[in-house]
């Protein structure tokens, strides 16, 4: 099972940049400025590419929200509508992590993301870990501990 998961992650993330990461910064839905690359120089940042319409995201988003606080989390909601729509969705789901809306999927495309959910851990401005699909709190914690 572990080998299958690794193979699927590799296949889904093969187009992601490994060096010179594209900038990932912008105004979050709560009006704050987030710069993932700069934040990652202080502590690892969990970047969560997700969508309101994504069935697997319904299982992963609570885990991501749970990690927000002890870890830096920045969500990127892709092709999910306007800021107001995504904000209402997050409020309705009682989710509190910082989120940059990507209504046309441009950031997702720049990062070579082909599936939601995708979780990328950035440390010191570089990709330290990537996983796609459903993950458990224990699986995400293990990735963070290995850094």
The residues spanned by each domain of the chain are 2-145
Tell me the CATH architecture of domain 2-145: 3-Layer(aba) Sandwich (3.40)
Query: How many angstroms separate the Cα of 117 from the Cα of each of 32, 35, 40, 78, 124?
Result: 23, 20, 20, 10, 23
Beta bridge partners of 60: none
List the one residue out of 32, 31, 71 whose CA is nearest residue 48.
Answer: 71
Could you tell me the pTM of the whole model?
Answer: 0.86
E strand map for the chain: 25-27, 33-35, 45-50, 72-78, 98-102, 118-123, 126-132
**pLDDT tens-digit series, residues 73-108:** 999 999 999 999 999 999 999 999 999 999 999 999
Enclosing H/E stretch for 67 = helix 57-67
**pLDDT tens-digit series, residues 22-62:** 889 999 999 999 999 999 999 999 999 999 999 999 999 99
């Amino acid at each position: 099972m572990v080998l299958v998961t690794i193979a699927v992650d590799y296949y889904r993330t093969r187009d992601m940049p490994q060096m010179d990461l594209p900038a990932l910064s912008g105004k979050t839905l709560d009006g704050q400025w987030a710069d993932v690359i700069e934040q990652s120089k202080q502590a690892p940042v969990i970047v969560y590419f997700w969508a309101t319409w994504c069935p697997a995201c319904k299982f992963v988003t609570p885990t991501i929200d749970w990690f927000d606080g002890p870890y830096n989390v920045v969500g990127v909601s892709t092709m999910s509508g306007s800021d107001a729509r995504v904000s209402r969705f997050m409020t309705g789901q009682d989710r509190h992590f910082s989120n940059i809306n990507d209504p046309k999927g441009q950031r997702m495309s720049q990062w070579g993301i082909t599936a939601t959910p995708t979780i990328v851990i950035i440390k010191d401005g570089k990709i330290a870990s990537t996983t796609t699909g459903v993950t458990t709190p224990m699986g995400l914690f293990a990735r963070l501990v290995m850094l």
